[in-house]
Each structure stands twice: as C-alpha cells, then as structure tokens.
Amino acid sequence: MPATGDVAGVYARGREFPVGDSQGQVEEYELKLTVQAARAFKGGLIVRFAGVEDRNAAEVLRGRTLLLAADDVRPLEAGEYFLHDLSGLEVKTATGDVIGRVIEVYEAGPSYFLGVDDGERERLIPFTGQIVREVDMEAGTIVIEPIPGLLDV
C-alpha cells in the first residue's frame, strides 16, 4: 500500500528510487530502482521497475523500502504528516494527561496505529480523526480524545 496520496507524481515513469532496508535505512550497496510503469490494483499499487523482469526478481525486494530525497517530496498540506516525523512525539489527552511517546507507526491496511510507550508497555492508538484531535509538530505533541476503554486495553 503506498503511503502517499500522490501516487501518479511519486511513481512517475523514469523516477529513480534508492532502496532501503525494512527500517528505511540506505543499504551499503546502494541499490536503485527506476519506475517503468505503475497502476492501482486492489487498494494498493503495482509498479514495474527496470531490470526486475519477473516475480522471482521482485521477491528479492520484498520487505525493502523505497526512499525519496527530501527535495523530491511535495510540500505537506495542513493535516498531513510524514509518518517518520511522528516518532518521539508526546501523546496526551485533551485534559492534559500524558499517555507516553510514539515509538512506532504501524500500517494496518488503509489505516495507521501509533505505538505509544507509556513507560510500562506499548499502547496502540488508532491514528484517526475520531481519536487524534491535534498534531503539533512544533510543540512535539499529539492530543487524543480516547474512546471509552481504549486506554484500558
């Protein structure tokens, strides 16, 4: 599933992607893939890369991350965030109770969950408009309004 709303722009024919490991770190041999074609498919995306001629060649790339240089990313609009920028933010309720810090962002189909370390365990908080009321990157906080029972799990 592409983590972008700009599929046509990001996966444009001829665009070259450095390939990172599963954590998004550039690998030492600096593999790069060039887009030949891309199309939507069953809620996801099928991309054909130059030099990747069959499923066996594609299977070698499973679990890797396609990377974009910061200069190649369109400016964010209000309410948009880079997932990696959410890590480390403090999560608190609208009443000011601190829940913990974001340690991971998990993709679950079409939605995301924040993995929040409360000092004792990791809590999973849905990253949805129903629960997340504010993300303040400058203050380093995410304000949530948890549904009943969410923090009891």
Give 81-130 pLDDT, tens digit per residue: 888 889 999 999 999 999 999 999 998 877 899 999 999 999 999 999 99
Domain total of the chain:
2
Give 85-96 pLDDT, tens digit per residue: 899 999 999 999
Give 27-78 pLDDT, tens digit per residue: 766 788 999 998 878 877 888 999 999 999 989 888 888 888 777 777 888 8
Domain extent at residue 134: 83-152
Burial pattern 18-47, b for ≥16 Cβ within 10 A else e, equals ebeeeeeeeeeeeeebebeebeeeeeeeeb
89 plus 144 within the same structural domain: yes
Say if 78 falls within a structural domain. no
Residue for token pair 């309410």: 79
Say if 129 falls within a structural domain. yes
97 plus 118 within the same structural domain: yes
- The mean pLDDT of 145-149, rounded to a whole number, is 90
11 plus 43 within the same structural domain: yes
**41, 72, 103: which is the final residue of a domain?**
72
| CATH code assigned at 88 | 2.30.30.240
Per-residue confidence at 3, pLDDT binned at 50, 70, 90? Answer: low
**72, 99, 114: which is the final residue of a domain?**
72
67 plus 17 within the same structural domain: yes
Q: Provide the β-strand partners of residue 134.
A: 143
65 plus 99 within the same structural domain: no
pLDDT of 2 higher than 60: no
Q: Say what the pLDDT of residue 1 is.
A: 44
- Whole-structure pTM value: 0.69
Q: Say what the pLDDT of residue 5 is.
A: 62
Say if 47 falls within a structural domain. yes
- The mean pLDDT of 7-36, rounded to a whole number, is 82
Say if 108 falls within a structural domain. yes
